[in-house]
Amino acid sequence: MVEACVPLNYFNKTTDPDDSDELQLHICHVLCMDAVLDVALQVASHSPQCWEAFFKVVAYIAYLDHVCFNNPKASSFNRDVGPSRSSLLNDTDIQTLVEENSCELSWDTLASGAAKSTSLGFLTPIRTVQAVCSLSAKIEKLLEQAAEQLNLRTLTDFIWHLCQASNHQLFPAGGKVVQNG
């Protein structure tokens, strides 16, 4: 399922956040990321190898967050939405975003051709930023829940995979952290 919600070129690191002028997410990708986050704690607590998939989705959402809020070329996001995340974090549900995005289509916009990308299943730029904010907030809640709900063995697996994902994100070329001692 991770391959369904995270593009292959992200795993290959062929894209740079500064290369894209505007970010568009397909509704299917957003729904898959939401589904992975919804079942992450329950599934991974029974099958520790699932933590790796969970952290791949988390790393991709962190990448999207960086593109949305730190990319100077993505000026349409900053101009349309503003730099404040707090205005976007009104507990917006992913399902609600998808429904609102679909409802924005009208016969007039379809006839004029103005809704080409939206009609193909892509979120509007503002909905994209809202989805990224919503997914980021869900990750923060999941990390808090993991600390409170997981038993010691599962928490140990969680922390080990978190360290592996952090190492991979910090040193993508395969470099290892040198430990003294």
Say if residues 68 and 80 touch (Cβ distance below 8 Å): no
**Average pLDDT value for residue range 141-164:** 91
How far is Cα 131 from Cα 9, in angstroms, rounded to an integer? 21
Say if residues 144 and 49 touch (Cβ distance below 8 Å): no
Q: Please state at what angle helix 125-149 crosses helix 50-70, rounded to 10 degrees.
A: 140
Q: Is the pLDDT of residue 22 over 80?
A: no
Span 31-88, pLDDT tens digits: 999 999 999 989 988 888 889 889 999 999 998 998 888 866 554 555 455 545 555 5
Q: Is the pLDDT of residue 25 over 70?
A: yes
The lowest-confidence range among 29-38, 105-114, 139-148, 164-173 is 105-114
The torsion defined by the Cα of 144, 146, 151 and 155, in degrees rounded to 10, comes to -110
Q: State residue 14's pLDDT score.
A: 45
How far is Cα 112 from Cα 34, in angstroms, rounded to an integer? 32
